[in-house]
Amino acid sequence: MSMITIREVSAYVGQEVTIGVWMYNKRSSGKIQFLQLRDGTGTIQGVLVRNQVAPEIWDEAKLLTMESSLYVTGMIRQDDRAPSGFELDVTSVKTIQVAEEYPIAKKEHGTDFLMDHRHLWIRSARQAAILRVRAEIIRAIQMFLDQKGFTLVDPPILTPSSCEGTTNLFHTKYFDEDAYLSQSGQLYAEAAAMALNKVYSFGPTFRAEKSKTRRHLIEFWMIEPEMAFVDHEGNLEYQEQMLEFVAQSVLQNCQTELQTLERDISKLEKIKAPFPRITYDEAIELLHREGFDDIQWGEDFGAPHETKIAESFDKPVFITHYPTEIKSFYMKPDPKRPEVVLCADLIAPEGYGEIIGGSQRIDDPELLAERYEEHSLSKEAYAWYLDLRKYGTVPHSGFGLGLERTVAWICGLDHVRETIPFPRMLNRLYP
Amino acid sequence: MSMITIREVSAYVGQEVTIGVWMYNKRSSGKIQFLQLRDGTGTIQGVLVRNQVAPEIWDEAKLLTMESSLYVTGMIRQDDRAPSGFELDVTSVKTIQVAEEYPIAKKEHGTDFLMDHRHLWIRSARQAAILRVRAEIIRAIQMFLDQKGFTLVDPPILTPSSCEGTTNLFHTKYFDEDAYLSQSGQLYAEAAAMALNKVYSFGPTFRAEKSKTRRHLIEFWMIEPEMAFVDHEGNLEYQEQMLEFVAQSVLQNCQTELQTLERDISKLEKIKAPFPRITYDEAIELLHREGFDDIQWGEDFGAPHETKIAESFDKPVFITHYPTEIKSFYMKPDPKRPEVVLCADLIAPEGYGEIIGGSQRIDDPELLAERYEEHSLSKEAYAWYLDLRKYGTVPHSGFGLGLERTVAWICGLDHVRETIPFPRMLNRLYP
Ligand SMILES: [Mg+2]
Ligand SMILES: [Mg+2]
């Protein structure tokens, strides 16, 4: 008799197997108990017929409460009426633990209550499905980048200072020095690209912002590719190819999960390269045509602007060539028009906003030194970053994808708090 | 004409290609310049013959200094005398930048100097090879766990408190609360295993220890699998299979890198499951036989002890069943002998010490509550962790692999500081 997981049942039809499971629901007539079982890899219905098992097995099953743990033994039967296509004709149950009354079982709970019980909430079908899609998105990104010759590098989390001021940074004492938690691994990834050509990082980043929106987490994960000898246009091509690969991988490997989430998969099927590109100038015009009087050339977009722009397209859209003034110090100005930079934000459809920001980087050491002055960056702290332009500077580009926003979009969620096992938000550090 | 990388040259023999490269060395006779070129994906020698190119190309190449960047064009020629098997007959060079005098070029530099220039040091053949092996080890681990049905989960880095006291923790203000940087994602991974069955985390962990040894970093990366319905013995089997897979993947995919590192690959070829297992009791006896009088039953091993134990084996060795007293609060006592726990440390050969620590976890809620008392753990802060034992507790196990020590071992390095792009150590927060 084999010990298997629910994911594997299709290979064991007609065979007796044992599975370690939790019971998440039970229906019972006097003659049959229907046990809804989950093991974290899937769900299956166990059917227990009174006159086909010993009385003590029948009675033991009757005691099982929600989230009780057990080893269940039975024959796998193909059943096209079952949601998973299979059922288990139970021959034996061996209780591990009859669970105490499950706190998040019965009624509709408020978000705070569910977040306080996040360690249990993630067991629910919907939350578990989201976490599996998250893992598949990461897996697909890594596979895509691996196939394209990228090398994973892990930039430091503890950094001596930041390129964007310290107000939104978490501070810690690093022995006798001051250190801050990284907001981005990009600058370090640039150094690595000069050593390894195409690299990417995948790690946690931190913003100590007191904002409470459905798009923000305090602690979030970023994928940050950086590519030597790749220009602005090449940068966009990698991004759209990567997102197409991600969407197709999720469609192929997460069918059950997308069904659980009731995701409209026709929306995901449309995520195919190339993506439309509009310039910042065109985006401003579009907004003015649509009646947005609250934004002028030179100002950054807010969430309502991004949503309006995205509505004009059924794919993600690149907004390129933002004003130099409102973008980061390291972005390369357009040689033909230095008041804008060779950058793009990628705006997801359906109101999910910016999921990628990227640019070609400044490769001219003199221009970069000027930017240090303009942005009051410490020449000592960033001496190493300037070195990258002194010793064999090359055209190079990169981008950062916000994982949680991407998961929210692919899963069709209302809020990023469900996209990560244990979200960190304003007033939320537990569990 | 194709724009390619050096890794791809074998597919372009006899064709003219252009490659973006850095020059890392040059030899020259009056008639031929030999350009040693690297692009981060590999190295190739460019051969420039005076009477076969225009004088201005010859002169341009003559100006190239170490780490200068250029686009080089030429014909790929198979050459079995070349280390990589290929050479480039240069027809043209287009300089991007003639580099300033390279600071780490000439002489032997001390470690501090190299670490201050880590952003450039990683360009050297040896350091780049290590970083590629590191990426391959991560890739192999992820592929192995993926094939075994594990789901990647990302535990939080910012946590309200720690299971092991706060003295070795980095502290930060989390708005009005106190937060600490994670030392391990294990407890959260356990929660996720109850939702998803087999999970693993891969992320940075932090120890604010003032130790300066060749095995310690302040910031290091851990892979932490956690498995529902898996016991102590099953736990060891996953570990040895995973490390065999890692070693075989590196042997297969990093031949050039291992050669650059002059690694004795016969040592790596021996890393095949099963690994030997000895109990803590047997390890103490072994040490006493070998003349170590400085350790008694009940004490933890130091580095010299681990090295001596490892010398008796040519594979990694599991030391199992440590005294309960010296191990973490969450480890499950051996039911037959509760003064020891169902745990194992995996000690690497060649003096690399402990690379994995793992155990079966306590599944009895009452015993875990007792441990909270004994270890003065906050019932409030860890209420969620106890919940995992109240609502369908199951036997479960997990382990944590220290990535940097594993990289040091596989690469055969003297010090973990070379195993990560930007190491964080005592007095080392730059670059
Ligand atoms: Mg924006
Ligand atoms: Mg130890």
According to the model, what pLDDT value does residue B163 have? 58
User: A259: how many CB neighbours lie within 10 A of its CB?
Assistant: 12
At B13, is the pLDDT very low, low, confident or very high (cuts 50, 70, 90)?
Answer: very high
ipTM of the complex: 0.97
Distance from CA of A159 to the nearest CA of B (A): 7
CA distance B334 to B350: 30
Tell the burial category of B267 from Cβ atoms under 10 Å away from its Cβ (0-12, 13-18, 19+).
middle
Count of alpha carbons within 13 Å of B93, Cβ hemisphere only? 32
Write the residue in B174, B210, B420 that is nearest to A429 by C-beta.
B174
Cross-chain residue pair A391–B99, CB shorter than 8 Å: yes
Residues 40-99 of chain B with CB under 8 A from chain A are: 40-41, 67-69, 96-97, 99
According to the model, what pLDDT value does residue A3 have? 94
Q: Which of A24, A102, A119 to mutate to test the interface with B (most CBs of B within 10 A)?
A: A119
A185, A391 in Cβ contact below 8 A?
no
Among A30, A13, A19, CA closest to A87: A13
Average pLDDT over residues A232-247: 98
Measured distance between the N- and C-terminal CA atoms of chain B, rounded to whole angstroms = 39
Write the residue in A128, A385, A388 that is nearest to B196 by C-beta.
A128
> Which residues does chain B have within 8 Å of residue A385's beta carbon, measured at their own beta carbons?
119, 431
Alpha helices, H only, A312-382: 365-374
Distance from CA of B174 to the nearest CA of A (A): 8
Write the residue in A41, A160, A197 that is nearest to B430 by C-beta.
A160
Residues A337-351, buried b or exposed e (16+ Cβ, 10 A)? eeebbbbbbbbbbeb
> Has residue A361 got a pLDDT over 80?
yes
According to the model, what pLDDT value does residue A164 have? 58
Cross-chain residue pair A421–B155, CB shorter than 8 Å: yes
Strands, DSSP E only, in B114-272?
A: 151-152, 158-159, 171-174, 177-181, 198-206, 219-228
Angle (CA) B137 B21 A345, round 5°: 70
Ligand nearest to the CA of B400: 2
Average pLDDT over residues A372-392: 95
Average pLDDT over residues A74-81: 95
Among B206, B177, B197, B201, CA closest to B189: B201
Q: Is the dihedral of CA B8, B12, B17, B22 positive or negative?
A: positive
Write the residue in B7, B96, B191 that is nearest to A393 by C-beta.
B96
Q: Which of A118, A139, A154 to mutate to test the interface with B (most CBs of B within 10 A)?
A: A154
> Has residue B211 got a pLDDT over 90?
no
Cross-chain residue pair A172–B170, CB shorter than 8 Å: yes
At A163, is the pLDDT very low, low, confident or very high (cuts 50, 70, 90)?
Answer: low
Report yes or no: A395 at the B interface, CB cutoff 8 Å: yes
Residue A281 in 3-state DSSP? helix
User: B213: how many CB neighbours lie within 10 A of its CB?
Assistant: 12
Number of A–B residue contacts, CB under 8 Å: 261
Cross-chain residue pair B421–A135, CB shorter than 8 Å: no
Average pLDDT over residues B339-346: 98
> Has residue A165 got a pLDDT over 90?
no
> Has residue B300 got a pLDDT over 70?
yes
According to the model, what pLDDT value does residue B16 have? 97
Q: Kindly write down the DSSP assignment for every residue of A32-53, as one continuous string.
A: EEEEEEE-SS-EEEEEEEGGGS
Distance from CA of A319 to the nearest CA of B (A): 28
At B2, is the pLDDT very low, low, confident or very high (cuts 50, 70, 90)?
Answer: confident
Q: Which residues contact A409 (CB under 8 A, 6 or more apart)?
A: A348, A349, A350, A352, A355
What domains appear along chain A, each with residue ranges and CATH number? Answer: 2-97 (2.40.50.140), 118-418 (3.30.930.10)
In this structure, what token pair is assigned to residue B429? Answer: 């927060």
B51-103 confidence digits (pLDDT tens): 999 999 999 999 999 999 999 999 999 999 988 899 999 999 999 999 999 99
CA distance B243 to B149: 17
Residues 162-201 of chain A with CB under 8 A from chain B are: 170-175, 177, 179, 181, 188, 191-198
A65, A99 in Cβ contact below 8 A?
yes
Distance from CA of B293 to the nearest CA of A (A): 36
> Has residue A364 got a pLDDT over 70?
yes
CA distance A123 to A117: 10
Tell the burial category of A294 from Cβ atoms under 10 Å away from its Cβ (0-12, 13-18, 19+).
exposed
Report yes or no: A425 at the B interface, CB cutoff 8 Å: no
A346, A317 in Cβ contact below 8 A?
yes
Distances (CA, A) of B396 to A21, A31, A169, B183: 13, 34, 37, 21
Cross-chain residue pair B384–A431, CB shorter than 8 Å: yes
Fill in the DSSP letter of residue A325: G
CA distance B70 to B90: 12
Cross-chain residue pair B221–A154, CB shorter than 8 Å: yes
Distance from CA of A206 to the nearest CA of B (A): 9
Strand-pair category, B198-206 with B277-279 = unpaired
Write the residue in B23, B67, B154 that is nearest to A221 by C-beta.
B154
> Which residues does chain B have within 8 Å of residue A191's beta carbon, measured at their own beta carbons?
119, 122, 421, 431
CA distance B311 to A57: 53
* CA of residue B298 to ligand 1 center, whole Å: 58
Distances (CA, A) of B208 to A44, A175, A221, A416, B188: 47, 8, 23, 31, 21
Cross-chain residue pair A422–B188, CB shorter than 8 Å: yes
Report yes or no: B302 at the A interface, CB cutoff 8 Å: no
* CA of residue B316 to ligand 2 center, whole Å: 14
CA distance B230 to B354: 22
3-state helix, strand, coil in chain A (%, to 5): 35, 30, 35
Cross-chain residue pair B393–A69, CB shorter than 8 Å: yes
Distance from CA of B253 to the nearest CA of A (A): 13
At B164, is the pLDDT very low, low, confident or very high (cuts 50, 70, 90)?
Answer: low
Distance from CA of B336 to the nearest CA of A (A): 19
According to the model, what pLDDT value does residue B312 have? 93
- What chain B residue is nearest to A116 in terms of C-alpha separation? B384
Q: Which residues contact B149 (CB under 8 A, 6 or more apart)?
A: A5, A7, A41, B197, B198
Average pLDDT over residues A364-368: 98
- What chain B residue is nearest to A4 in terms of C-alpha separation? B229
Residue type, A269: E
Residues with CB under 5 A from ligand 1 (ion): A 345, 354
At A106, is the pLDDT very low, low, confident or very high (cuts 50, 70, 90)?
Answer: low
Residues 318-377 of chain A with CB under 8 A from chain B are: none
Ligand nearest to the CA of A299: 1
What phi, psi does B129 have (nearest 5°)?
-65, -45
**Cis? peptide before A276, omega within 30° of 0:** no
Cross-chain residue pair A430–B131, CB shorter than 8 Å: no
A412-431 confidence digits (pLDDT tens): 999 999 999 999 999 899 99
CA distance A45 to A42: 11
Q: Average pLDDT, whole number, for chain B? A: 96
According to the model, what pLDDT value does residue A2 have? 83
Write the residue in A23, A158, A395 that is nearest to B424 by C-beta.
A158
Among A190, A201, A272, CA closest to A230: A190
> Has residue A95 got a pLDDT over 90?
yes
Alpha helices, H only, B80-153: 111-116, 118-121, 125-147
CA A355, A360, A365, A370: dihedral to nearest 10 degrees?
-60
User: B386: how many CB neighbours lie within 10 A of its CB?
Assistant: 15
Strands, DSSP E only, in A50-135?
A: 69-78, 86-97
CA distance B176 to A57: 53
A194-203 confidence digits (pLDDT tens): 999 999 999 9
Average pLDDT over residues A99-113: 88
A332, A320 in Cβ contact below 8 A?
no
At B161, is the pLDDT very low, low, confident or very high (cuts 50, 70, 90)?
Answer: confident
Q: Which residues contact B301 (CB under 8 A, 6 or more apart)?
A: B283, B295, B309, B319
CA distance A140 to A137: 5
Strands, DSSP E only, in A79-218?
A: 86-97, 151-152, 158-159, 171-174, 177-181, 198-206
Chain centroid to CA B167: how far?
A: 26
Cross-chain residue pair A194–B160, CB shorter than 8 Å: no
B288, B318 in Cβ contact below 8 A?
no
Angle of helix A186-196 relative to helix A383-390, nearest 10 degrees, comes to: 30
DSSP β-bridge partners for residue B37? B23, B44
Distances (CA, A) of B296 to A235, B288, B299, B303, B384: 60, 9, 6, 15, 37
* CA of residue B356 to ligand 2 center, whole Å: 9
